[in-house]
């Protein structure tokens, strides 16, 4: 495997980051995950924009747009990948121990690309189990959820709960008890033929797949309600699913002890999403 580290592609054993890197010491950094389909990175520009947004919120410098794009495609080429999982990580960089960002002279920039492993098709046919985690989402006033941060311990604690209870994903509530998001996903449910999803006001990362699904629903006559919802609102729904870059649209068959069908709106939105990807890959050229 080959990794892009700072300014070049290197073999994995050479992709070494200092133990004094503030990403390692303090979780001081940001990241983005993307998928490439047939050699084209889906919605690259939106992911780059969100990376830049995260960087601006923590006053972290980034390379220019063309540099980031070339780094991503250089990493895909070096690994001979077409359908891939891609992660960009940018940390504050190496510096003396201490919280002052000024201790680090320059950021550490990393691109990892791996062969994408398809999710089991039965997950999409039958759905997966979700739980409501006891771990609450960080207060938006304490840590802005729009920052896709390297500090993921809050989500990891909720994922531990899911694993201990035999669930695939955990739904996290905010401090007020409203549904916020999954550990690595945005949550949707269908009630009275209306597609419901938590508003950014409850403290979520506004996922790029979430944004696309909302747009596809509206363009295809499905009413959308972005609001504040308690778990009981979800329990009284007919369909539940979550979205993210890698899983796309993943249905839930169970939330806590409530069972759900993989319903028509979920299936329609998954089909529309796949059609969007197919159209993108058909039209795309690998721009450098």
pLDDT beyond 80 at 288: no
In whole numbers, what is the pLDDT of the chain averaged over residues?
A: 96
Map out the domains of the chain with their CATH numbers.
2-115 (3.30.470.10), 121-278 (3.20.10.10)
Strands (E), the chain: 2-5, 8-11, 29-37, 40-41, 84-91, 108-115, 128-132, 169-173, 179-182, 186-191, 194-198, 224-227, 239-244, 248-255, 258-259
* pLDDT value at residue 287: 46
**Does the pLDDT at position 179 exceed 60?**
yes
d(CA 124, CA 81): 25
For residue 227, what pLDDT band results from cuts at 50, 70 and 90?
Answer: very high
pLDDT at residue 282 in the model? 87
- Percent of the chain at pLDDT exceeding 90: 97
Q: Does position 156 have pLDDT exceeding 70, yes or no?
A: yes
- pLDDT for position 283: 83
Say yes or no to pLDDT of 285 above 90: no
Residue 253 has pLDDT above 50, yes or no: yes
Q: Render pLDDT for 135-147 as a digit per residue (tens, 0 to 9).
A: 999 999 999 999 9
Q: Which of 228, 252, 248, 256 is nearest to 239 (CA)?
A: 252
pTM: 0.94
**Does the pLDDT of residue 79 top 70, yes or no?**
yes
* pLDDT one-digit tens code per residue, 121-130: 999 999 999 9
Counting residues of the chain whose pLDDT is more than 70, the rounded percentage is: 99
Q: What are the percentages of helix, strand and coil residues in the chain, rounded to 5?
A: 35, 30, 40
What contacts 166, CB < 8 A, 6 or more positions away?
129
d(CA 168, CA 182): 10
């Amino acid at each position: 495997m080959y990794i892009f580290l700072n300014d070049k592609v290197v073999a994995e054993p050479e992709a070494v980051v200092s133990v004094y890197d503030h990403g390692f010491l303090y979780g001081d950094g940001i990241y983005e995950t993307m998928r490439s389909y047939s050699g084209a990175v889906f919605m690259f520009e939106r992911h780059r924009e969100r990376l830049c947004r995260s960087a601006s919120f923590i006053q972290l410098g980034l390379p220019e747009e063309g540099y980031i794009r070339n780094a991503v495609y250089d990493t895909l080429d070096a690994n001979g990948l077409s359908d891939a999982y891609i992660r960009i990580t940018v940390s504050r960089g190496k510096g003396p121990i201490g919280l002052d960002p000024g201790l680090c002279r320059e950021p550490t920039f990393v691109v990892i690309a791996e062969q994408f492993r398809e999710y089991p098709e039965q997950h999409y046919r039958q759905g997966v189990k979700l739980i409501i985690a006891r771990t609450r989402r960080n207060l938006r006033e304490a840590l802005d959820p729009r920052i896709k941060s390297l500090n993921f311990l809050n989500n990891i604690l909720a994922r531990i709960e899911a694993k201990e209870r035999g669930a695939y994903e955990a739904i996290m509530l905010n401090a007020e008890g409203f549904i916020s998001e999954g550990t690595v996903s945005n949550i949707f449910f269908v009630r009275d033929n209306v597609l419901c999803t938590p508003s950014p006001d409850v403290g979520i990362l506004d996922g790029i797949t979430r944004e696309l699904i909302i747009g596809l629903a509206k363009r295809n006559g499905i009413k959308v309600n972005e609001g504040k919802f308690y778990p009981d609102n979800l329990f009284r729904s007919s369909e539940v699913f979550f979205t993210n870059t890698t899983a796309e649209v993943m249905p839930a068959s169970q939330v806590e002890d409530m069972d759900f069908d993989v319903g028509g709106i979920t299936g329609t939105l998954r089909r529309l999403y796949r059609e969007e990807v197919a159209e993108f890959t058909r039209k795309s050229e690998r721009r450098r």
